[in-house]
Amino acid sequence: MKFNYKNPLLSIVLILVLCNSVFSQKNNSFTIILDAGHGGKDPGNMYHGYREKEIALKTTLKVGSYLENDKDFKIIYTRTSDVFIELEKRPKIANKANANLFVSIHCNSVKNNAPSGTETFVMGLSRSDMNMEVAKNENSVILFENNYKEKYQGFDPKKPESLIGLTMMQEENLNSSINLATKIQSNFTNRLKRNSRGVKQQPLWVLDAAYMPSVLIELGFLSNKTEGAFLNSNEGQEKMARQIADAIIKYKNEYFGGAKYSSIASVKPVNANNQNIGTNNATDSVYKVQIAVSTRELRLVSSNFKGLKNVSSMRTANFFKYMYGETSDINEAKKLEKEAKNKGFPDAFIVAVKDGKTSRVN
């Protein structure tokens, strides 16, 4: 799979294997990829003598040791020692294994020594300056790779405009990713009393390229001397690892039963007044063009959608899908898709909507 970032304002094309969704997999075990961030020649964040690559690895291995007690889990590590693993290879390991979850573990830092707290990221696009700094830091591992300019086709992790191309290709798995991230953050806050910086969406390459629900955990700030000391200690790593493992087990129990998976909760279309949107025939599909996904609810006015009118939303507990137009004619839907792309939504695509559920139309 290759990404095209030569023009960050254009969409990247990804063969969406995930359209079949993680919940239709038929593995007899629940396969999870545990990814210890950085490693080898890439030390990650370093403050007060604390090294991110070491803390991430030790914590990740402890998470695995807890999960290995459950015979239903199959654990695959991207690294188990101090070696450099190219960023591109990490999600490839997950995709090759047809994994059910991808969990990447890191430590945070900023120039100001005061900030502290945990945060867990899922794939998305945010304009938050702090979040963009995290994205640049975690994506910057690319710079350690040979021929990175050719391999990543012009993607520059230090330029925010390059992140525009990292749009939400995991829209089918976003809800599941947020679910797991929320469980992790809740455990950190309620059980360990760690300061929570919340669940956030951010364009991180390692999440974007994985075909399954994925999260990136920032355990805390090494730049904060007190928090860094906690994370650098065996006790701190054990406590954090236990809560991550507990959240993963809860997630597995929620979605995984024997060799079958429950489906994602159905979504219900709503209009600007939060009322159900009906169709002429509930048993027939209609076509709409999905133009965006967000955890924020936007007013359904044309100014919020680059001039597009007739925009509706579909909502679950955690995010909103925004749709343009509605038609029962696939050819008309293709015209609407082209119009949306011309208006500035290069990743727009057609979905069939039936009984409050959507499926992508290739």
pLDDT in tens, 92-121: 898 888 899 999 999 999 998 999 999 999
CATH, domain range 286-360: 3.30.70.1070
User: What's the mean per-residue pLDDT of the chain?
Assistant: 75
Find, among 41, 8, 53, the residue nearest to 146 by Cα.
41
Q: Are 134 and 160 in contact (CB under 8 A)?
A: no
**Cβ(31)–Cβ(98) under 8 Å?**
yes
pLDDT tens digit sequence for 151-185: 545 555 555 444 433 343 445 577 788 889 999 99
What are the residue ranges spanned by the domains of the chain? Answer: 30-256, 286-360
Q: What pTM, to 2 d.p., does this model score?
A: 0.58
The predicted-structure confidence for 118-137, as pLDDT tens digits, reads as follows: 999 998 654 334 344 554 55
Question: Residues 91, 92, 97, CA angle at the centre, nearest 5°?
Answer: 100
Structure tokens at 280: 């002429």
* Among candidate residues 351, 1, 287, 17, the one with its CA nearest the CA of residue 170: 17
- Return phi, psi of residue 238, to 5°: -60, -45
CATH number of this structure's domain 30-256, picked from the four choices 3.30.420.40, 3.40.309.10, 3.40.630.40, 3.30.230.10:
3.40.630.40
Cα–Cα distance measured from residue 316 to residue 127, given in angstroms and rounded to the nearest whole number: 23
From start to end of 15-95, where are the E strands?
A: 30-36, 46-47, 50-51, 73-77
**Residue 104 identity:** S
